[in-house]
Amino acid sequence: MAELSPFGYRPRPAWINDCDPRIKLAALAGLSVCSLGAGWLSLALVTSVAGLLWLGLVPSAAVFWRHTRFFLFLLMVIVLVRALLTPGQVLLELGPLRLTLEGLKSGLLVAWRLLVIVLLGMILTASTSSARIRSAVAWFLKPVPLIDERQAATMIGLLIRFIPVIFRQVRETAAAQQARAVAASRNPLRRAVKLVLPVTRRIFLTADRLVYAMESRCFTLERPFAPPEGGKNDLPLAASALILCLVLLLV
């Protein structure tokens, strides 16, 4: 059975799947911007709502951990750096390094905000097909001058479709290296270099094959996009997103 990816669309019978993609994009943009200045209580509320939506789409917290553990490690690095560089009440002192309470709180808050934004983006990609996202992006960019909305929407749609491919290639390369005892090295930098270089090469080769496949099928930007369609849950989704944005700004 193919392994699930948190960034791929799943046609599950979830109520958010049938909502207008334009409303979901607007909600994602609004909540992401408001989350950058949110506090602890409002972030806890938004995280709870987003977590419930995520479990409704992908009923497995292990999938989220398996595919975002490297990002979570990056968030831990951010928390550590902020804790060491921010002056304040010293909690731990190791030679010239001082871990402060104010820095730890600041780092955790920044990491939490970034995690909320990533989780909201994963909910969008898991509940909306790339074709509907492409149509919504083209609809939003159509009034903007000097921008080809069809080209921009096609690029975003291909990017969303390409993310699960990248994760699959990372898994396949890591499994191949583990079978050849490459991952047995104790040097983490060497392991990272050995993984990044072949994965990058495979990604570019896959992108080239995609371009050739599109050209052989006479792909053109003149192809009509399916108009974005809404559903009966559009109003509750818009109202909920607006309320959450107000909470993030006011609390």
pLDDT tens readout for residues 176-201 = 877 877 666 666 667 777 788 888 88
Per-residue pLDDT band at 8 (split at 50, 70, 90)? low
pLDDT at res. 31: 93
Q: Shortest CA distance to 199 belongs to which of 112, 50, 70, 73?
A: 70
Which pair of structure tokens corresponds to residue 45? 């509320």
Of the two residues 222 and 168, the one the predictor is more confident about is 168
* pTM for the full predicted model: 0.79
pLDDT in tens, 93-125: 777 888 888 889 999 999 999 999 988 988 888
DSSP 232: T
Whether the per-residue pLDDT at 30 is higher than 90: the answer is yes
Tell me what the mean pLDDT of segment 17-27 comes to. 90
Contacts 24+ apart (CB under 8 A), 224-228: 225/131, 225/134, 225/135, 225/138, 225/150, 225/153, 226/131, 226/132, 226/135, 227/135, 227/139, 228/20, 228/21, 228/22, 228/132, 228/135, 228/136, 228/139
Q: Where are the domains of the chain?
A: 16-129+229-251, 149-220
Q: How far apart are CA 237 and CA 31, in angstroms?
A: 12
